[in-house]
Structure 1
Amino acid sequence: MTTLKNDTSSDIESIDQEIGEETHLDLTNSSTVIKTMQQNLHADEKSSTNKRYMSLLVINYLFLFVGSLSSSLLSKYYFIHKGSSRWVSTFVQSSGFPLLIIPIFSPYYILKSTKRKPFSDFNLKMLTLSISIGLMLGINNLFFSWGNSYLPVSTSALLLSSQLIFNLFLSVIIVKQKITFSNLNCVILLTLSSILLALDSSHEKPNGVTKKEYFIGFFCTIAAGLLFALYLPVMEKVYKEVYCYKMVMEMQFIMEISATLLATIGMSLDGGFHDMKEESEKIFDKGKRVYWVTVMANVVTWQFCFMGTAGMVFLTCSLTGGICMTALLCMNVLGGVLMFRDEFGGFKAVSTVLCMWGFCSYVYGMYVKMVEEKGRMRNQNE
């Protein structure tokens, strides 16, 4: 009787254990299914067949266009009119991060267009990656500021296009980017554009800039291009685990906070905040009001630039984002010539033509690929 009772108790415990394991498996599976459903729900944001895809892509490219052109010209305007703090120029590149609150919080709290709460899917891994990449971005911003303070806008813009060949190389290693005739042709043409500029740039030192300072600016700009070439494929790899555009903006928010903290520490150690007041009142030759308008406009336009870059990488790939930015450098060259009377000789003209040629060939290659994919899908449906 006692043996029967023990066996019965043992069987009950065994059944309870099995039920518990099944329940745990069900809960685990349910969690996985829910996560998969969330990803599938938003996966079409990256799909060219989605109705919202093209409008989102165009909006991000417009942000990139306006931000890239305006921020470069405003940064140069600051230095031309006796602004001298490279930390200020670095600080404004990321300090506009509060503007990201609008695309992060308005869809849920104001527009009611989504049921996903902001930062609800943010985890420790994403936070760590965002902070680390943000610090790298802050260093890149500093290099860009040093380069832009010593070089003409047109020279700086075309030098930055040299990052494209490194972008292709790193994209192959980090995200397994396939090399095609279209992207290789584009990279070669844009790289040749930069080489032509480098051969012709030795005589083009701005007034008051020594030969040593010119070469410092030259190599800082190259360093900024290299860091940016690394930044793009790293972001593409990170975005593979991100399933919606709102999460991209959330990561961008954390990154720019990190970059701003780095710039703030540098400014504090270098006396930059105190210098801003003195610079606006006594040094900047356009007056205090124009000084602060220039600084605040730079904050906004840099934010547009980074938002557009992040969106382009998420919606397409890091190489496409890099090519689009490089193509916009042609507009920066023309902007520098029109606004600041930078020289525009034969070498620079050929460089610009090569840059535009490379971009157009890449866009055509993308168009052919899209047509082929649509034809393939049509054949499968039939």
Structure 2
Amino acid sequence: MNISSGKTQLAGDDHQQTNHTIFTSNKSKLDGKTYKLLLIINYICLFVGSVSSSLLIKFYFNHNGSSRWVSTWIQSAGFPLLLIPIYFPHYCFRPKINQEHISKRKPFSSFDMNLLGLCFGIGLMLVISNLCFSWGNSYLPLSTSALVLSSQLGFTLLLSIIIVKQKITFLNLNCVILLSLSCVLLALSSGGDRPEGLTKRKYFIGFFSTASAGLLFALYLPVMEKIYSKVDCYAMVMEMQFVMEMTATAVATVGMVLFGGFKEMREESVVVFDLGPTRYWVAVGGNVVTWQLCFMGTAGMVFLTTSLTGGICMTALIGMNVVGGVVVYGDDFKGPKVVSTVMCVWGFCSYVYGMYVKMKGENNGGSQNDEDDDDAQQLQKKSLLELSEIVTEDQR
């Protein structure tokens, strides 16, 4: 009875250790089901965060919100929320006994000065990208800004080839071409989207700022893939994201202080925002949360797959952003936009299906190798058993 109880307790510890390993093991050590589950969770975060943040930031500007520093600050100010995926697995998924068998790693324990320096530098790049995005989004309609941001995909492919030696295959090249063509088609139909009162000069500033944000993000993805290749585990990815977002928030806070962003925030909530202070703070709080979901999902996708896959997923969501702008804000959705959105979804689905087939083939190959290894072990055991019988018979 005690032995059975001990086995049950050990099985429970093994289950707890497996859950803990999901977050503390390198992706190469994750089994197929765990890897897919983690991938799905991150893409859901990316999907919800990207679409919701785009709609909420536009909601802010559509109802007389005008502070670009406020919109820049809220894109990274939710970094304390990342402490949840950092510390929750550490305290909830570790075994309660047999402490000598679990990983001794603690949050933020694997950082050195070089890695911290990289995180601070990328954090500075992020705050510049966030500011450019805010400037562009304050002038351009949602559909047009989403279009311009999609230009990052081609640069992501090029920079991935240079930085991480990404191989060009028919699968990824076909997807990049389809998504890029869909965005060009969308651009040709966006000439009438310019709001009333928006001058050509402001429209150009918005276009240039948004394009700059896209280029910076295109650089961010392969650089992070290069760094993540030397990262211990998924938990450390979240820790690095925390440091980068904290750096971006610190710089944005300095900008808020120097340019009166906090004062503008108080005035906007009471006087300027035409829907009242309650909805103003709901919009700000919603942006804080959804932007962190977006960044967390992006970081996870790059770690679990590649920078190019992360860029493709982000670009594919542009179609959803365009549809969201049409449904929520009444942007025009004429024939060319319909065709470009269909091409966008088509390109993404073909890429996902191709990746699925590739992963399935690799898993089947791995399973076959495991079966071959098992057969070899069984044969070896049989040979040893026969040898022992021969020796025993000879001794008799």
**Same fold at TM > 0.5:** yes
- Distance in 2, matches of 1:68 and 1:172, equals 26
1:213 corresponds to which of 194, 202, 207: 202
Structure 2 residue aligned with 1:344: 333
Structure 2 residue aligned with 1:117: 106
2:369 corresponds to which of 366, 369, 380: 380
Structure 1 residue aligned with 2:35: 53
Structure 2 residue aligned with 1:193: 182
Instruction: Note if 1:95 corresponds to 2:88.
Output: no
1:1-382 maps to which residues of 2 (within 5 A)? 42-43=25-26, 45-46=27-28, 49-112=31-94, 115=103, 116-381=105-370, 382=372
Deviation at 1:258, TM superposition (A): 0.9
Deviation at 1:378, TM superposition (A): 3.6
RMSD (Å) for aligned C-alpha atoms? 1.7
Deviation at 1:264, TM superposition (A): 1.2
Deviation at 1:371, TM superposition (A): 2.6
Q: Could you tell which deviates more after superposition, 305-314 or 213-222? A: 213-222
- Distance in 1, matches of 2:213 and 2:183, equals 14
Secondary structure at the aligned position of 2:191 is classed as coil
- Distance in 2, matches of 1:202 and 1:56, equals 41
Structure 1 segments unaligned to the other structure (5+ residues): 1-37
Letter in 2 for 1:320: T
TM-score normalised by structure 2 residue count: 0.83
Deviation at 1:206, TM superposition (A): 1.4
Deviation at 1:340, TM superposition (A): 0.2
Secondary structure at the aligned position of 2:127 is classed as helix
Q: Could you tell which deviates more after superposition, 222-231 or 345-354? A: 345-354
- Distance in 1, matches of 2:314 and 2:34, equals 23
Deviation at 1:189, TM superposition (A): 0.8
Deviations 1:189-215 (A, max 9, x none): 111112122222222201332221112
1:205 and 1:211 in contact (8 A); partners too: no
Secondary structure at the aligned position of 1:126 is classed as helix
- Distance in 2, matches of 1:360 and 1:334, equals 17
TM-score normalised by structure 1 residue count: 0.86
Structure 2 segments unaligned to the other structure (5+ residues): 1-20, 96-101, 373-396
Q: Could you tell which deviates more after superposition, 306-315 or 362-371? A: 362-371
Deviation at 1:377, TM superposition (A): 2.3
1:108 and 1:117 in contact (8 A); partners too: yes
Q: Could you tell which deviates more after superposition, 228-237 or 350-359? A: 350-359
Deviation at 1:48, TM superposition (A): 6.5
Deviation at 1:108, TM superposition (A): 2.4
Deviation at 1:47, TM superposition (A): 5.5
Give the share of equivalent positions with the same residue, in percent: 65
Sort the Cα spacing of 1:46 and 1:90 in 2 relative to 1 into closer, same or farther, 3 A: farther
Sort the Cα spacing of 1:46 and 1:62 in 2 relative to 1 into closer, same or farther, 3 A: farther
Structure 2 residue aligned with 1:29: none
- Distance in 2, matches of 1:106 and 1:281, equals 37
Letter in 2 for 1:74: L
- Distance in 1, matches of 2:265 and 2:41, equals 34
- Distance in 2, matches of 1:212 and 1:363, equals 40
Secondary structure at the aligned position of 1:94 is classed as coil
